[in-house]
Structure 1
Amino acid sequence: MGSVTTFPLIPTGAPRPAPAPQKKKIRGGDRLSATLMLVGVAIAMVWANLPGETYHQFWDLPLGASFGDASWTFSLHALVNEGFMTLFFFLVGLEVKRELTVGELTDRSRAVVPIAAAVAGLILPAGIFLLFNLADGEFDAWGVVISTDTAFLLGALALIGPKFSSRLRTFLLTLAVVDDIGALLVIGLFYNSGLNPVPFVIALVLMVLIALVRFLPVGRGFAYGVLGAALFVVVYLAGVHPTLAGVAVALLIPVFPPRRNDVERSVELTQAFRESPNPAYAAAVTRSLRESISINERIDTGLRPYVSFGILPVFALANAGVHIDGDTLRDALVSPVAWGIVAGLVLGKFIGITVATWLVGVVGRGQLAPGLSLHRVAGGAALSGIGFTISLFLVPIAISDPHTQDLARVAVLAASVIAFFLGWAILTVGDRISPPHPVGFKLARPVDPQRDHIKGSMDAPYEIVEYGDFECPFCSRATGSVDAVRERFGDDIRWVWRHLPLDQPHPHAQEAAQAAEAAAMQGRFFEMAGKLFAHQKNLERDDLFRYAEMLGLDPDRFADDFVSPKVAHHIQDDRLDAEIMDLNTTPTFFLNGRRHVGPYDSASLIRGLENSAPMAAKTPAI
């Protein structure tokens, strides 16, 4: 499968749930998380400016833990910043691992622009900060300005709500992942208290053990938890900031797309439970469904709400409390640290990301995804100046003087506000000058009976066009989903297959498509397609020629057509159509000419067709 996608397993005859509005859920979650963090900032600011020192006294409350003769004492503030925030950095690490393994960063051609932009957005802000602070002795605080707050960034984008923002959101997410990688490296390399060799060696041993947990037959979750907790303690004793233990554990947890065998096993168990409900089958179904999704994604899904809606707002509450009076504001206005932070975050991020994106396009090393304009990148670059979480996290680590810390916090908050309104202005004005349009919403090329592979009549009122590849385990003919759709509609539907070989995850897909087209030259496309889907694990060239022989095709003609320009051009034309529509996963369906979004099980496809208007009858060309 081209991307990590799941679909519901619905037994025959079971009630059909309505498709989940994924985009609305994502944007709503981003907006709520950002709102809760803003509430935390507001409460912290009001609390810190009340008479007395209750804000600082509360967060400085001492806490302790002991085990035998060993004891530890830490403050409530340290519990939040070094304890709870480990879970935040753990989620960052999970996302980094996922993007590097199965996400946007696996495709160099699609990732080169946001990667270059992110690197520029790390380097230029630090350079600008150093220009302001080389002379005053606070140049070590350059790390405060390098990182973007992903939660606030996506929350701000959701609050602004530009039309057709999915490509911009994906661009910013990819950029934020690279940004997070840079920030984590900076924290690990430049903001540690010096290595203690014995605990450090123990930490390395624990990391090896964590890497081996994936091979345990049972109890992997428990093992990750115990070893992760031990690593947290040892990393702290080694002199490295303990939050990096969360990153290390996350990077060692495997991630993979759903595997066909696992999904089929879940279907079999679900059917068995439906026929004979009992606790043993229920437990087996639950375990099978859980294990068909990688532990990376399961942990992320389970933990993210607690981090987004709990830990990050508490972090904001614990770190945004700055006593603001006339002296603080006057000092901030003349402080090189404050000006360096504001200029670094606002100007550095905006200029670095925008100019790098433009330069990469000019030199021809990469290009923006369809529908993503430079003015939208500029708006996203401005929003990237919101450096709230990691910036505030690094302030007490990078700056020792309490008063200068307060000036830095004021600057971080001011930069975040300026960055939000600058991004809002650029996106709003830019969209008015150059209104955005959806990409890939409609089928780019109408179905042509002279070149497309069609099952059903061209006079049928319903049409389903599938872009897929023969190595994709979740394409319709492999799962039988379209067979169920065709059974439901009968003669009222036509199914059309178009090629979208995903070369990186499916290395045999291109040659399998060539074999199908070579068979089509002898009128046997669908027979060959059936062979390819039935033997997805055996798609080497020798296998393809053996299938041709089994179908009784002329072997010499098949061999010639297999490498012919006509076959290559047919597949390439389908690829180019997919590129125009910005398709990058298989399967992708178009129902009556409009792109289907959401689950692609047979029930969802049937519902989508029933909710769409029938198409006008088409007469085959003569």
Structure 2
Amino acid sequence: MTEGDSLPRFPRLRRVLHQRRGFSDSEKTGAALLLGATVLALVWANLPFGNSYDEFWSSTVSLQVSGTGIQLDFRALVNEALMTLFFFVVGLEVKREFAVGELSDRSRAIVPVAAAVAGLAIPAAIFLLFNHTGETGHAWGVVISSDTAFLLGALALVGPRLPGHLRIFLLALAVVDDVGALAVIAFFYTDQVHFLPLVVAALGLAIIWSLKYVRLGQGPAYLVFSVVVWGALYASGVQPTLAGVAIALLIPVYAPRRREVERAAELSRAFRQSPNPAYAQAAVRGLLNSVSVNDRLHTLYSPYTSFIILPVFALANAGVKLSGETLAAAFTSPLTWGVIAGLVVGKFVGITGMTALVKALKLGELAPGLTLGRVAGGAALSGIGFTISLFIIDLAIDDPRQQDEARVGVLAASLIAFVLGWAIFRIVDKVQPPSRMSLVLARPVDPRRDHIRGAADAKLSLVEYGDFECPFCSRATGSIDEVRAHFGDQLQYVWRHLPLTKVHPHAILAARASEAAALQGRFFDLSPLMFSHQDELELDDLLAYAATLGLDLNRFEEDMRSADVVNRVRDDAIDAELMDVHSTPTFFICGKRHFGPYDAATLIRELENSKEMFTVAEAKRLEKAQQELQHRGR
């Protein structure tokens, strides 16, 4: 079965918008809005009629209560108030990745974490080579962080057609990058600290942490105490945007739990039987409670940060007056060149070099298909340091002239990094065309990880990418049984996951159930049960099948939600995408992709041909070995 979308009326537009698989429309739209706001800011700042740009963003707004209050200009309102929500969303992503996401597995996280640390340190060191004396040395934080929104947008535009594991790698790297940038802001760009407001902020954070035990009124309580924490940090002298991160790290995150899901289903059933406002409110609360607060808030606020706050931030901060005097000063300024070299060279060398080092020392491994060339392209794009770079300019530099020089450096570095990334990806694609990658198995069979029937050391292999809800995969099981009976121990059959979620809503759940069964040694016992009941793959059905097999149900359900199981299913799907596999079942015979019918006779014939090729190759290797022995004997 093929997973595909209905074709639009304008095929050329479709190719432009959808040629990059693996990216959501929201990521592309967010990057486009950010770029549009940047261009608008530059145009506005360079219009011929005076200084309307600076005058507008210097306008003030104040809030006074009984003689006490705060006064901010529009730019500070954006940078210190609205950006708090942006950092809050970043904090939610950080918490989720470390709790249940890509960074929850230490062995999977070591390469992007090490690369991110090098990508923080080396750019700062390069910047200080240009600015080791004078006040500008304090601005080294400008070059440490990549802009995640622009990075993903650029990757969608100029990256490889099938980004696969590269996107996951860069997302994990961006999370660590954000953590480092936030720590730098907290420790190096906070001036005078007042103790009493800091105590109030700490008490507010403690109350926010305790709200996870409150069943009613969580939303208003989170809002009220979040405002208290922000105001206290503002009064204390600490960068108030850090309130967003601190609050986010206290928000609980967990996979959906069966008890809450069942409760939500009961409430929804009650409302369906007797519709009334009380049941409606109870059903809504039940549905919300079945998902972690972290997930709910991230889903709620991400569109606001991507589509409103970040574009407004760019509009408020990217408006550099590109006069001849400004450009001439920037061209000779060590501050500008330090920013350019730090972001472009530092990010590229730091990320690529550390990845190569970790790989060479075998401290970590790159995912299948994630070559060092692709990492280099992503590292080059990581030099697009926009949002946090502009944010730190405002914190680290007081002189407006030097601020403009640093902003010119950020804009120039982002453009150079974009072009450099594009060039690297084009070179890599020429050296290793994507078309070749679709013909061979991206990841070799690994007995320690793969689900194998037959001898693990068999010379013949048949790898299937399948979907437990796909009727064609179910029918193919008979062919596979015949093939295995024909070859016996000469063949190893391997199952890998390709859940087609657009046409099979229960495919991912079934795949995770099979992995949970595998952790109790019953993968190939649960699989036929699911194939024979493809219309009954709800959670309760899967638990019933597990009970039939005598599995530990508590462990089974917990494993289904675990990061290891989630990542394993996702890895198989990403491998399939990398090889441009988008239908099930798809077979690889001895590492080569099989096209055409997959009946037993066809598969046996293809495997026999591979067997003959192995025999000839083995004979040649044996003959060569004998000749070498004879030569040594002489």
Normalising by structure 1, report the TM-score: 0.74
The match for 1:188 is: 186
CA deviation profile, 1:347-387 (whole Å, cap 9, x unmatched): 00000000000000000000111111111100000000000
Alignment of 1:334 onto 2:312: no
Alignment of 1:510 onto 2:519: yes
Could you tell me whether the CA contact under 8 Å between 2:22 and 2:162 is conserved in 1? no
Give the 3-state SS of the residue equivalent to 2:553 in structure 1. Answer: coil
The match for 1:241 is: 239
Separation in 1, partners of 2:548, 2:352: 49
CA deviation profile, 1:285-316 (whole Å, cap 9, x unmatched): 32222221111111111111111111111111
Structure 1: which 5+ runs fail to align? 1-20, 469-473, 475-479, 486-494, 502-507, 518-525, 541-574, 596-612
1:129 deviates by 0.4
Q: How does 1:523-562 map to 2 (within 5 A)?
A: 529-531=546-548, 535-537=552-554
Alignment of 1:45 onto 2:45: no
Could you tell me whether the CA contact under 8 Å between 1:346 and 1:419 is conserved in 2? yes
Counterpart of 1:425, as a letter, is A
CA deviation profile, 1:148-200 (whole Å, cap 9, x unmatched): 00010001111225211031111100000000000000000000022111111
The match for 2:166 is: 168
- Identical counterparts, % of pairs: 48
CA deviation profile, 1:45-99 (whole Å, cap 9, x unmatched): 1111123111100000011111122132110111011011111111110000010
Give the 3-state SS of the residue equivalent to 1:57 in structure 2. Answer: helix
Give the 3-state SS of the residue equivalent to 2:554 in structure 1. Answer: coil
1:443 deviates by 12
For residue 321 of structure 1, the aligned residue among 306, 319, 322 is 319
Change in CA separation of 1:533 and 1:139 when aligned onto 2, cut-off 3 Å: farther
Separation in 2, partners of 1:265, 1:462: 42
Separation in 2, partners of 1:135, 1:497: 56
Give aligned pairs, total: 514
For residue 428 of structure 1, the aligned residue among 411, 426, 429 is 426
1:203 deviates by 1.2
Separation in 1, partners of 2:455, 2:246: 55
Separation in 2, partners of 1:157, 1:401: 34
Give the 3-state SS of the residue equivalent to 2:69 in structure 1. Answer: strand
Give the 3-state SS of the residue equivalent to 1:64 in structure 2. Answer: strand
Counterpart of 1:419, as a letter, is A
Separation in 2, partners of 1:229, 1:576: 40
Give the 3-state SS of the residue equivalent to 2:24 in structure 1. Answer: helix
Q: How does 1:458-473 map to 2 (within 5 A)?
A: 458-459=477-478
The match for 2:283 is: 285
Could you tell me whether the CA contact under 8 Å between 2:547 and 2:553 is conserved in 1? no
Could you tell me whether the CA contact under 8 Å between 1:44 and 1:321 is conserved in 2? yes
Give the 3-state SS of the residue equivalent to 1:537 in structure 2. Answer: helix
The match for 2:80 is: 82
For residue 386 of structure 2, the aligned residue among 375, 380, 388 is 388
Separation in 1, partners of 2:304, 2:298: 10
Separation in 1, partners of 2:90, 2:431: 36
Change in CA separation of 1:443 and 1:302 when aligned onto 2, cut-off 3 Å: farther
1:28 deviates by 2.2
Change in CA separation of 1:25 and 1:459 when aligned onto 2, cut-off 3 Å: closer
1:531 deviates by 4.1
Could you tell me whether the CA contact under 8 Å between 1:458 and 1:620 is conserved in 2? no
The match for 2:585 is: 593
RMSD after superposition: 4.2
Separation in 1, partners of 2:118, 2:78: 31
1:111 deviates by 0.8
For residue 616 of structure 1, the aligned residue among 599, 609, 615 is 599
Counterpart of 1:49, as a letter, is N
Give the 3-state SS of the residue equivalent to 1:396 in structure 2. Answer: helix
Could you tell me whether the CA contact under 8 Å between 2:253 and 2:292 is conserved in 1? yes
1:536 deviates by 1.2
1:530 deviates by 3.1
Separation in 2, partners of 1:527, 1:409: 61
More helix per residue: 1 or 2? 2
Could you tell me whether the CA contact under 8 Å between 2:23 and 2:156 is conserved in 1? no
Separation in 2, partners of 1:158, 1:357: 22
Could you tell me whether the CA contact under 8 Å between 1:532 and 1:539 is conserved in 2? no
1:418 deviates by 0.4
Separation in 2, partners of 1:176, 1:576: 21
Alignment of 1:145 onto 2:154: no
Counterpart of 1:500, as a letter, is E
Q: Which moves more between the two structures, 158-167 or 244-253?
A: 158-167
CA deviation profile, 1:586-617 (whole Å, cap 9, x unmatched): xxx9974249xxxxxxxxxxxxxxxxx99535
Change in CA separation of 1:460 and 1:259 when aligned onto 2, cut-off 3 Å: farther
CA deviation profile, 1:109-144 (whole Å, cap 9, x unmatched): 111000000000000000000010112331100000
Give the 3-state SS of the residue equivalent to 1:66 in structure 2. Answer: strand
Give the 3-state SS of the residue equivalent to 1:500 in structure 2. Answer: helix
1:100 deviates by 0.7
1:513 deviates by 4.3
Could you tell me whether the CA contact under 8 Å between 1:442 and 1:593 is conserved in 2? no
Separation in 1, partners of 2:583, 2:33: 39
The match for 1:159 is: 157
The match for 1:257 is: 255
Structure 2: which 5+ runs fail to align? 1-17, 457-463, 483-493, 500-504, 527-542, 558-566, 588-595, 605-634
The match for 1:504 is: none
Change in CA separation of 1:527 and 1:146 when aligned onto 2, cut-off 3 Å: closer
Separation in 2, partners of 1:497, 1:25: 21
Separation in 2, partners of 1:209, 1:460: 61
1:582 deviates by 6.5
The match for 2:297 is: 299
The match for 2:227 is: 229
Separation in 2, partners of 1:442, 1:352: 27
Give the 3-state SS of the residue equivalent to 1:241 in structure 2. Answer: coil
Could you tell me whether the CA contact under 8 Å between 1:370 and 1:580 is conserved in 2? no
Q: Which moves more between the two structures, 438-447 or 353-362?
A: 438-447
